[in-house]
A and B are shown apart, each in its own frame.
Chain A
Amino acid sequence: MVDHYNKLVKLMARAFYDDLTSKGDNQPKTGRTDNRGIAVVVLDALTRRQWVREEDLAKDLKLHTKQLRRILRFFEEEKIITRDHRRETAKGAKMYSAAVAATADGHPTAREGEEKVKLHTHSYCCLDYAQIYDVVRYRLHRMKHKLKDELEDKNTVQEYVCPTCGKRYNALDALRLISFEDEDFHCESCNGRLEVESDKIASQEAGDGDDNVRRRRREKLKDMLQKMEVQLKPLMDQLSRVKDLPVPEFGSLQAWEARASAAGRAANGDINAADSKMSQMGYNGASIPYSGDTKVVVDFNGTEGKGEGIKSETESTSLKVLPPWMIRSGMVLTKEQRGEVKQETKMDGTSTSITAQHTDDKKSTTEQDDNKSLQDEYIKAYYAALLQQQQELQKKQELLNTTELVDPSSSASGRQVGVKSKRDDAEDDGTEWEETPIGGNGNGGFKVADLNLNVQAEEEPPADEEDEDDIDWEEG
């Protein structure tokens, strides 16, 4: 799936960024400084990497760091890469190296033992595939739209631009732009006089109104549109091929590092090495506690499921765990879907090397999770039962309800409203009365506030039978 996206990136690079120069346009191009096509090279290189330190990339491409930076900054603005900058010691850099070593294309530059106290700002970059997909589609859409609009001479929304501050408006803003001093449109921010924007592609030949010119222009536009369809066909095909594929997601730099180094550890099963790397995890010397770090790894593989982790590919295809509120009685569910074997899936997901301490840590955390979710389910079931009980009471009450305070219409039948308007004197303790519309109806010592604290069987209200029913399916 990464391959398809990479092909998309390559096609895009050649279609849109081929003639991009990293120098400003005003500088004269001599043969030597003409560096067109460099953007394509950079993008291609990025398709073979995940997160990469920009210095390393520059070295690999034999480019000057500054030159590369300029290109990358441009791509960042174009929203096709994400960048991350951080100040780090040699330690942090090493952590990145460890992560790189775990990925296929990495260069294992292990500089163990080399300790520097100085902080350096390092920049990293990575392709943002999800965004690239959208950017390309948007770009194509805008191109087509512009050509078509002009072709049909219905670039209807006249645009206006402020010559002083460059702010743009269109005819739909007209109402806000008129001033009462003169007949012109004025800029909202600087009150400059707006000018009609005419950035038509084919408006080079002036002399509007001449039929001949107009016809020629139409032909030119039609030609352009056709050429575009033909020349960009591969790109559009690739877009549709990629449409339903999951997007390769590397996450943020830190997440990626954690995952990649975990995967690397799992791959060589080298416990000691893993431990030593672990101890380097902290940035700027502040070390993250051992168990905390493992938990991060667990979470990523457990929740994302489609991470770059080595074995997690198979995970993503397995059934999703349904949240408890989606489970109804009578549904045919596997145990996984009920979230009962969460523990196992999570373990698989990490597939880290296993020391005794390791597993214990994880088990305890997942067990806690399970306990918590079980409690949540009880609470939910309890609420459901409570709601039912309340509704029944309401019905009962409505029968008794003879004195409506205000009843402007005869046809009304809003049960809720009716009950609410009959606000009883038994309301004492400031609980929200929507929640407890029953006052003095023999409901004894029951209070809403109790719910949040403890859900025990003895506290449950009389409508126990339904309650039990509701809970049964949660457990079975």
Chain B
Amino acid sequence: MFFHIVLERNMQLHPRYFGRNLRDNLVSKLMKDVEGTCSGRHGFVVAVTGIENIGKGLIRDGTGFVTFPVKYQCVVFRPFKGEILEAVVTMVNKMGFFAEAGPVQIFVSNHLIPDDMEFQSGDMPNYTTSDGSVKIQKDSEVRLKIMGTRVDATEIFCIGTIKDDFLGVINDPATA
């Protein structure tokens, strides 16, 4: 799920960036620092959308670096249990398959793949129905449901299922 939230961060800035463009420098550094990162609490920071407030700087002893408390608005993406996502398959093996939904990695174990799909090893390992009409392989797009998340301080990993109504392949690259 996406959220638009306000976060705060203490930015350290080298003295060489001081001057007329200080604010711009600060903002671009902020974007470089936080976009694409993941915190277990808020999820993946997708984009910084605005600056709420930049506090007064504090010069660090010895280094001359200045720390600014920056409040910024951003879009974050945080997967939840039960959420339905569309994802791209990145790897298939006999244990199941891995998929990505943006920054989130999801693993679907083979017992959460419909029973009528069987694993086919080979050059392009895949899961296929007996009549061959549906195939899951690398780069397939699937719709899946998050069954569990593992949230660490800097990482979120999910497991999912496609064993439910309306889940599974939504676009087969082989036929497209």
Contact = CB atoms under 8 A, between A and B. Distances in A.
- The answer to whether A and B belong to the same complex is yes
Given A405-B59, A412-B55, A414-B69, A172 B148 contact: yes
B35 to A, nearest CB: 21
Task: Say whether chain B's binding surface is mostly helix, strand, loop, or mixed.
Answer: strand
Contacts, number: 96
Nearest to B125: A183
Contacts of A185: 95
B56 A404 contact: yes
B5 interface: no
A456 to B, nearest CB: 33
B54 A183 contact: no
B94 A184 contact: yes
Interface in B67-123: 68-69, 91, 93-96, 98, 105, 107, 109-112, 115, 121
B53 A409 contact: yes
Contacts of A184: 93-95
A251 interface: no
A324 interface: no
Contacts of B93: 178, 183-184
B56 A172 contact: no
> What is the interface residue range for chain B against chain A?
35 or more
A27 interface: no
A372 to B, nearest CB: 37
Nearest to A414: B55
B95 A174 contact: yes
A171 B107 contact: yes
A408 B69 contact: no
Q: Is the interface of A mostly helix, strand, loop or mixed?
A: loop
A411 B147 CA distance: 45
B55 A417 contact: yes
A279 B109 CA distance: 68
A406 B69 contact: no
A223 B76 CA distance: 45
Q: Point out which of B58, B112, B148 has the most chain A C-beta atoms below 10 A from its C-beta.
A: B58
A421 B148 CA distance: 47
A417 B55 CA distance: 8
B98 A174 contact: yes
B72 to A, nearest CB: 12
B45 interface: no
Contact of A156 (B54, B57, B147): B147
Contacts of A154: 147
A404 B22 CA distance: 15
Nearest to A209: B115
A171 B159 contact: yes
A158 interface: yes
Interface in A216-231: none
A66 interface: no
Contact of A420 (B58, B107, B125): B58
A397 to B, nearest CB: 14
Contact of A175 (B59, B68, B105): B105
Contacts of A160: 95
B26 interface: yes
Nearest to A423: B59
Given A158-B111, A183-B125, A408 B53 contact: no
Interface string B36-64: 00000000000000000111111100000
B159 A421 contact: no
B53 A156 contact: no
Contacts of A183: 93-95, 121, 125
Contacts of A405: 57, 59
A417 B159 contact: no
A409 B58 contact: no
Given A183-B121, A407-B56, A408-B23, A172 B115 contact: no
8 contacts: A171-B96, A172-B107, A178-B91, A183-B125, A406-B18, A406-B66, A407-B56, A420-B58
Given A158-B110, A174-B95, 8 more contacts: A171-B148, A174-B98, A175-B98, A178-B93, A196-B95, A406-B57, A408-B22, A408-B56
